[in-house]
Amino acid sequence: MYLIWIAAFAGLAFLAYVRLAPSDEDIWHVVPKVSDDKTFGNGVTRRVVVGKDGLRRMDALIGSDPRTQQFAGSLEEGMITYISRSRMMGYPDYTTMMQSGEDLLIYARSRFGRKDFGVNAARVDRWIATLTAY
């Protein structure tokens, strides 16, 4: 019986850590090194031609996205990092965007695990599709 209680406590402690662990700006708010579109185990990079105001327009679009909030950076800085949390467990994903001339450089990745099951790619591609539909 004690093992069940210990396992339950450990599970709850892990869930609390995932939700409440502090995010270090020096680790997650980094310049995206993007040469082209790439999908990897726990994230994606995208380079999109969107014009000189692409970051501003993308920031406005992301502002209405559920479970996503600005973490670091600003429009004035020309680079912003967002945290998006999964619906059920609250796993954090970090997406950094930087304006580079006419291009928007995007680097999205998960904090926990080596595989994100395509969640970052789907989110970023949805944002890009919405932005470029105008």
CATH code, 117? 3.30.310
Q: Which of 109, 100, 117 is nearest to 81 (CA)?
A: 109
Q: How far apart are CA 14 and CA 99, in angstroms?
A: 36
- Is 17 a domain residue? no
Confirm whether 120 is domain-assigned. yes
The residue segments making up the domain with residue 108 are: 25-132
Instruction: Using a pLDDT cut of 70, give the percent of the chain over it.
Output: 99
Give the model's pLDDT for residue 37: 95
pLDDT reported for residue 133: 85
CB 73 within 8 A of CB 83: no
pTM over 0.75? The answer is yes
Residues 6+ apart with CB under 8 A from 79: 29, 31, 55, 73, 96, 97, 98, 99
